[in-house]
Amino acid sequence: MIRTLLSGDLPRSRALGVVLAVILIGLAAAPFIFPGTRALNVAAKVAVFILLVASYDLLLGYTGIVSFAHTMFFGIGGYGVAIAAAKLGPSWWNIALGVGVALVLSLALAFAIGLLSLRVRAIFFAMITLAVASFFQILASQLSAFTGGEDGLNFRLPELLRERLVAYYAVFGISLVLFLALLRVVNSPFGRVLLAVRENEFRAEALGYRTVVYRTVANCLGALLATAAGVLYAVWLRYTGPDTTLSFAIMIDLLLMVVIGGMGTMYGAAIGATLFVIAQNYLQDLMQLASDAAKGIPLLPDLLHPDRWLLWLGVLFIVCVYYFPSGIVGRLRR
């Protein structure tokens, strides 16, 4: 049963299996294990970002595509459901309409970007996606009549989703199902071709595989999953805005999560997203405790001040890259 759910991709490490089980149980029981609004917000963000990072790892880790437009698709999902609910009303039909339009728009943009850009060298493709993502962020800020501009959009949901427990388990359940579906994709013959394209594009082409087709399909699939993650995040927050979904800082965070967890493995997305989101939300609290405990020691309280949490987050990232060059999953499997 477990082998079937994981598409035959078992952790292959007792330590990795334990870590994944802890993450799954923690998210499944978060409303009961971690009481409080803040803890539930962190758990929901972890669930959403596991899906978002996994969708990006499909491009970066499995296909070798360096794209900076992933947060654009994340934002399209958030704005799709937000605009539909805010402008048309909080009904199930309007929510479905917003989600459908967002998915279609993301698919069309990903397909166009794939056809026009994936034939060029990797660095040029990365620059094109960066330009498109920047344009979309500016567009979202300028079209304030629809998007709310820099302030974003607050919106209401159907009555059932206003219950935080229901909304949380909707976010968690859909994220888990889509993550398992993506795990099935990467362990299929299609996924193995993507790995071949990543390792040696010319050899894959010589074997008869149309690499542009496979890379375009991967780009479209990653975009659709990122859009779904954006929808879930907006539904949980009941808000969306440029800083929430379209910020380039989120794109950098995605890269960090993929590298920390381990590129080319869906389990790395789960571990990297969990560690990073928890560090983002609780590292300052831990540093405050450490700073208070170090009072009386020269320089140390200032170094451990919560305002310097980004510095220590960078140090943690450097340590992870140095000691885990193939990511945490790669290290645990060895």
Q: Where in the chain are the domains?
A: 2-333
Q: What is the pLDDT at residue 3?
A: 78
**Nearest Cα to 2, choosing from 23, 13, 22, 17?**
17
Among 25-29, 144-148, 318-322, name the most confident range. Answer: 25-29
Backbone angles phi, psi at 236, to 5 degrees: -70, -45
What local confidence, expressed as pLDDT, does residue 42 receive?
95
Q: What's the pLDDT tens digit per position in 204-247?
A: 888 888 888 888 899 999 999 999 999 999 999 999 999 899 98
Cα 98 to Cα 77: distance, rounded to the nearest angstrom: 8
Does residue 121 carry a pLDDT above 80?
no
Helix, strand or coil for residue 13?
coil
Residue burial 182-213, b: 16+ Cβ < 10 Å; e: rest: bbbbbeeeebebbebbbeebeebeeeebebee
pLDDT of 293: 80
Determine the pLDDT at residue 19: 92
- Of 204, 329, 333, 203, the residue nearest 269 (C-alpha): 329
Outline where DSSP puts E strands in 55-152: none
Q: pLDDT band for 77, please (50, 70, 90 cuts).
A: very high
Strand partners, 198: none
Q: ∠294-297-298 over CA atoms, to 5°?
A: 130
Highest-confidence segment of 108-117, 211-220, 228-237, 264-273: 228-237
Output the DSSP codes for 209-267.
--HHHHHHHHHHHHHHHHHHHHHHHHHHHTEE-IIIII-HHHHHHHHHHHHHH-TT-HH
CA-based nearest residue to 11, from 181, 174, 183: 183
Pick from 234, 72, 96: nearest CA to 154: 234
Q: List the single range of 41-45, 170-174, 196-200, 250-254 with lowest mean pLDDT.
A: 196-200
Range with top average pLDDT, 135-139, 267-271, 322-326: 267-271
Is the pLDDT at 318 greater than 70? The verdict is: yes
2-333 CATH, one of 1.10.3470, 3.40.50, 3.10.620, 1.10.10:
1.10.3470
Task: Convert 115-152 to b/e letters by CB count within 10 Å (16 or more is b).
Answer: eebbeeeeeebbebbbebbeebbeebbeeeeebbeeeb
Query: Which residues, in sequence order, are bridge partners of residue 229?
Result: none
Coil, strand or helix: which one is 316?
Answer: helix
72 near 229, Cβ under 8 Å? no
Average pLDDT, the chain: 88
Please check the confidence at residue 197 and state whether its pLDDT lies above 90: no
Strands (E), the chain: 153-154, 239-240
User: Residue 240 forms beta bridges with which residues?
Assistant: 153
279-311 pLDDT per residue, tens: 888 888 888 888 788 787 777 787 887 778 778
Between the ranges 2-11, 152-161, 289-298, where is the mean pLDDT highest?
A: 152-161
